[in-house]
Amino acid sequence: MMKILAAALLATLAGIAGTSAAFAVEPVPGSITYGGAQPRLEQAPAGSNFFHTFHLNGSEVHEIYKVNADRSVSLVSRSVSNSD
């Protein structure tokens, strides 16, 4: 019974890990990484986060980026609020 539960747990975790890319936030016009841009930060510590705010189609867009070990950046999160 324990082996079946362990196998089911491993299968579930493997499924979650395999689908994480499906939930990735894609850059939009105004994003730092839009159009395939791959900026590198020289002085920011790896693992740190920073914010980027811009306007798109009358809405204010707030993005959070993470600094990777190689100093490239990854878009982690985005929220959009109406400027009305």
pLDDT tens by residue, 17-66: 444 566 789 999 999 999 999 999 999 999 999 999 999 999 999 999 99
CA separation, residue 45 to residues 33, 71, 80 (Å): 19, 8, 27
Q: Return the residue matching tokens 């730092």.
A: 32
Query: Tell me, what's the pLDDT at 76?
Result: 96
Q: Calculate mean pLDDT across residues 72-80.
A: 96
Domain range summary for the chain, segments of one domain joined by +: 2-82
Q: Side chain identity at 5, as an amino acid letter? A: L
Q: Calculate mean pLDDT across residues 64-76.
A: 96
